[in-house]
Amino acid sequence: MSFSSEVKAELLKHTDAARHCRLAALGALINICGEFGIGKGDDYLLISSENDRVTEFAAQLLCGLFGRQYDLTSFDERSAVVVLGEEAYNALSAAGFARRGSLLEEQPIDPLVVSSDCCKRAYLRTAFICCGSVTDPSKTYHFEFVNSDYYHALGLKRLIADFGIEAKIIERKNHYVVYLKEGEQIVDMLNLISAHKALMEYENRRILKEVRNNVNRIVNCETANLNKVVLASVKQLEAIEYIIDTVGMSYLSPQLRQAAQVRLDNPGLSLKELGELLSPPVGKSGINHRLNKICCIAKQLKGEI
């Protein structure tokens, strides 16, 4: 099961006690998954989805709001819930929709339906169940709602902004995507829609990812430093050996001879460690200066400078 599926499974178990919050949830269902049409006998409200759990959720929500059982059916190879006649008008009116002509046109989110914070949460929670997704934080940070209507996407963005979270909108394949890309924002969003179990799992995976990244950075840094030490040591040893082979160690001053001998005897040590072996000991800059001077002498002997 994907991380998104885990989040949705948790949210589908959430029950809003207040009727106004359940009406906000119904508003999200209708705006994202619903359409109104003229039937042979009655006008109808259709809520359909490729995800059976969404239509089961819709049926349960309608049952709780209007006190009757709604059976699932199929529509265009998707599962669906159908509300007929006057009940359809009642559902639309209660969820903040106005009927225009024979079809339910896409409409902005009714501010009266999401007037309180709890209703905004219910709307966003249901919107995520219908059209949301979130990636596994061990891979990347991404949270989104996919909308067919720009104005509904804008409404979701504004609802999210009411809680201090700044989402962005991008157009993708004729759809409008409201998205978040920062880990902290996604954590806040999961808390906002009451996905508390998923939030803890998200944080655990996110922390583990950051620890791994930090370890990798440290290892890469140490590897880079080690490579610098090795390359510098090789360069210094080549210079010392050239001096020995051409003019001999006696060509060097006593201080430089001592530094050259210490490097020959300890090719793998760092500058700091080499400096501590000298008598008297010198600091990192002191031993580095002497070894650089030896390298310059070798270049002079080769005629390079």
pLDDT for 102-141, tens place per residue?
Answer: 445 556 788 889 999 999 999 999 999 999 999 988 888 8
Same domain flag for 26 and 142: yes
Q: How much is the average pLDDT of 72-85? A: 85
- Tell me, yes or no, whether 212 lies in a domain: no
Instruction: Give the chain's domain count.
Output: 2
Query: Among the listed ranges 18-32, 84-98, 176-190, 217-231, which one has the minimum average pLDDT value?
Result: 217-231
Helix ranges (H only) for the chain are: 3-12, 19-33, 52-66, 85-94, 117-131, 150-161, 183-192, 196-246, 254-265, 271-277, 284-302
Confidence label for 40 from pLDDT (cuts 50, 70 and 90)? low
Residues 53 and 174 in one domain: yes
Whether the bond between 267 and the residue before it is cis, its omega within 30 degrees of 0, is no
The whole-number average pLDDT for the span 272-276 is: 89
Q: Looking at the structure, do residues 189 and 238 belong to the same domain, yes or no?
A: no
Q: What is the DSSP letter of 108?
A: P
What's the whole-number mean pLDDT along residues 242-267?
90
Residue 98 pLDDT grade (very low, low, confident, very high; cuts 50, 70, 90): low
Domain housing 59: 3-194
The average confidence (pLDDT) of the chain is 87
Asked if the structure places residue 204 within a domain, the reply is no
80 and 170 in one domain?
yes
Answer yes or no: do 159 and 285 share one domain: no
207, part of any domain? no
Kindly report, residue by residue over 199-225, the tens digit of the pLDDT.
888 888 777 777 777 777 877 777 777
Instruction: Name the packing angle between helices 3-12 and 117-131 (round to 10°).
Output: 130
Bigger pLDDT: 280 vs 218:
280
Q: What is the pLDDT of residue 106?
A: 55
pTM over 0.85: no
The answer to whether position 70 is within a domain reads yes
Query: Same domain, yes or no, for 79 and 128?
Result: yes
The percentage of residues in the chain with a pLDDT greater than 90, rounded to a whole number, is 40
- pLDDT of 100: 45
Strands 168-172 and 132-134 come out as unpaired
Both tokens of 35, joined, read 């359409």
Q: Which amino acid would we find at residue 143?
A: F
Q: How confident is the model at residue 96 (pLDDT cuts 50, 70, 90)?
A: confident
Q: Do 188 and 240 fall within a single domain?
A: no
Is there a single domain that holds both residue 273 and residue 136? Answer: no
Distance CA(288)–CA(233), nearest Å, equals 11
Question: What digits encode the pLDDT tens for the residues 283-299?
Answer: 989 999 999 999 999 99
- The pLDDT-based confidence of 101 (bands split at 50, 70, 90) is very low
Angle between helices 196-246 and 254-265 in degrees, nearest 10: 130
Supply the pLDDT for residue 223.
73
d(CA 257, CA 297): 12
